[in-house]
Amino acid sequence: MPDHKESHIQAPLFNTAAKALKIQCIAYCALLLAACGGGDAPTRVQSESTSAGRSALAASPHSAPSTPPLSLSAQVGQKLFFDASLSASGAMSCATCHDPQHAYGPPNARAVQLGGPKLNSAGLRAVPSLRYKLATPAYSNEQFDPDGAGAPAPGGGFTWDGRANSLAEQAALPLLSPLEMANASPEAVVKKVQAGAYAPLFLQAFGPQAFANGATAFANITAALQAFQKEDPSFRPYSSKFDLYNQRGLGKLSTAELRGKAVFNDPNSGNCAACHLPDLNQFTDHLFAAIGPPRNSAIPANAILSYMDLGLCGPARRDLKPAHAKEANPYCGMFKTPTLRNVATRSVFFHNGVITSLEQAIRFYNTRDTNPEIWYPTVGGKPVKTPSADFPTYGLITQQYRGGKVQKFNDLPAKYHANIDTQMPQDGRKAGSKPPLSEQNIADLLCFLKTLTDDYVAPASEPSTGPCVN
Ligand code: HEC
Ligand code: HEC
């Protein structure tokens, strides 16, 4: 059974000299340290993540407090983040899609959000959480694999395809995207800030001439948004049950949660840890992988059959090509491994939001290969009137067919199917064979993933019955 590392080195392109690996390592480790404020190990719980801070945040997302106080730049960033006047519609801020009450993820169950001047233009991808992004390195084709043993592989960068190398670079994208905040130009954004209530704060932060040059002012706007996301502890509270248990030794995980943790880590069962790496406490290795989630017809852009979101190979980015023009592009279908922190607070999953519950996500991992007919459409078959008793009902396709052909990986052209990752639990086993995880494994894994939700409040006494206990 191939493991994560092997799957990433299948293309010769990803082989690198040890030297490059070392450089990447140095860069990566330096970044991790910088990200954690003056050399704090990322595994350590930040002292600012107090419950007082959290409840104040809950009371007013506009006044998330922090210790030490935010820099002037970050204070400007905080105003910008919640300012709906910075959109063409006048009704959409960063927080509309990245809601602090939802771990800075989407507040609703839409696969993609509606933006644009009239708030009726559908986006192309699911909204990621903005929590725990600090350790994200800049994009590289040969990113150091933080679990140590693996060869360098595509990794890093912001957005699902890593095309923004910093939070500042990223912030320009939604401000100018016609599907999101839809400003016509950077200058249009600057004008709004200059006319707004916190223009004096902006001048205080960036100098009396801060509005003199449009390009510089816009660069400072994106720098301020970056500073807010970097400095405000609400972006990295480390306050989940897992943190209390794992880091502070305050609570303890239940028997069921511990079993789930074991499934998560076991290379021969869940194997989630291979990519959603828990070691550095981020629950991602920042690397890219092609998992092949089904095409989502709820995304209006997908009505055009020739449109396909291929992640690293486009259409949002076009810079990554195969080593030889005639080869199939090895980057197609790859998306960034998201952190699983706060994943239980989400209503839609994967880059296209096609999966609609956490349990369904786990079941997709478990039965994508053994029961592709419940995840991908079948063509040419005969619908079965009364499904057989063992036909699973938890998939995306609830109609059983006799005969026909399952369109496996229907959101990725066949020539790129070789890019699909083939390690546990999706190790390419035959349709109809036994899924790797048992019902008990699935239930336990779900319990464990729920311990990664921030703002955990320990009960006065541990329950002795109920779900996720024994
Ligand atoms: C209309 C909804 C919407 C709005 C408004 C919005 N975003 Fe996003 N955000 C998204 C989506 C969708 C993505 C994923 C984009 C992609 O992969 O191409 C994203 C990605 C990001 C990421 C990258 C996260 C990661 O995991 O790599 C950051 C950071 C971010 N947004 C910050 C912001 C900031 C700052 C603002 C305000 C200036 C903002 N967003 C406004 C929808 C939105
Ligand atoms: C080969 C690496 C790899 C392995 C192994 C892996 N994942 Fe993932 N995971 C990814 C990638 C990459 C994505 C994003 C794929 C996409 O959107 O196309 C993802 C997405 C997810 C999501 C959606 C999160 C979100 O914010 O939308 C969940 C939930 C998830 N994985 C859970 C798991 C669990 C549970 C396991 C173990 C049973 C697991 N993963 C194993 C790489 C992996």
pLDDT class for 454, splitting at 50, 70, 90? very high
Radius of gyration, alpha carbons of the chain: 23
> For residues 286 and 336, is the Cβ–Cβ distance under 8 A?
yes
**pLDDT band for position 202 (cuts 50, 70, 90):** very high
Predicted local confidence at residue 147, as pLDDT: 74
Residue nearest to atom 9 of ligand 1 (CA): 127
How far is 49 from 235, CA to CA, in rounded Å? 10
Q: Is 423 in the pocket of ligand 2 (CB under 6 A)?
A: yes
- pLDDT category, 246, cuts 50, 70, 90? confident
Q: What is the helix (H) or strand (E) element at residue 406, kind and residue range?
A: strand 405-406
Tell me whether strands 382-383 and 401-402 are parallel, antiparallel or unpaired.
Answer: antiparallel
pLDDT tens across 402-432, in order? 999 999 999 999 999 999 999 999 999 999 9
Q: Are strands 335-336 and 288-289 parallel, antiparallel or unpaired?
A: antiparallel
- Tell me, what's the pLDDT at 60? 36
- Res. 461: pLDDT tops 90: no
User: Residues 212-239: pLDDT tens digits?
Assistant: 999 999 999 999 999 999 999 999 999 9
Ligand 2 site-directed mutation target among 339, 350, 441, most atoms within 8 Å of CB: 350
Q: State how far the Cα of 294 lies from the Cα of 412, in Å rounded to an integer.
A: 9
Which of these ranges, 108-122, 161-175, 275-289, has the smallest mean pLDDT? 275-289
Residue 122: phi and psi, rounded to 5, are -75, 140
Q: Which one of 272, 335, 352 would you pick to mutate in the ligand 2 pocket, going by the greatest count of ligand atoms within 8 A of its CB?
A: 272
Tokens found for residue 214: 């449009």
pLDDT of residue 267: 96
Q: Whose CA is nearest to atom 16 of ligand 1?
A: 159
What domains can be seen in the chain, in order of their start residue? 4-235 (1.10.760.10)
For the chain, the average pLDDT equals: 87
Could you report the per-residue pLDDT of 11-61, keeping only the tens digit for each? 333 333 333 333 333 333 333 333 333 222 232 233 333 333 333 333 333
pLDDT reported for residue 149: 63
| Whether the CB of 260 sits within 6 Å of ligand 2 | no
How much is the pLDDT for 249?
75
Distance of CA 138 to the CA centre of its chain: 15
User: Global pTM?
Assistant: 0.89
Q: Which residues, other chains included, contact 451 with Cβ-Cβ below 8 Å and sequence gap of 6+?
A: 240, 241, 242, 245, 253, 257
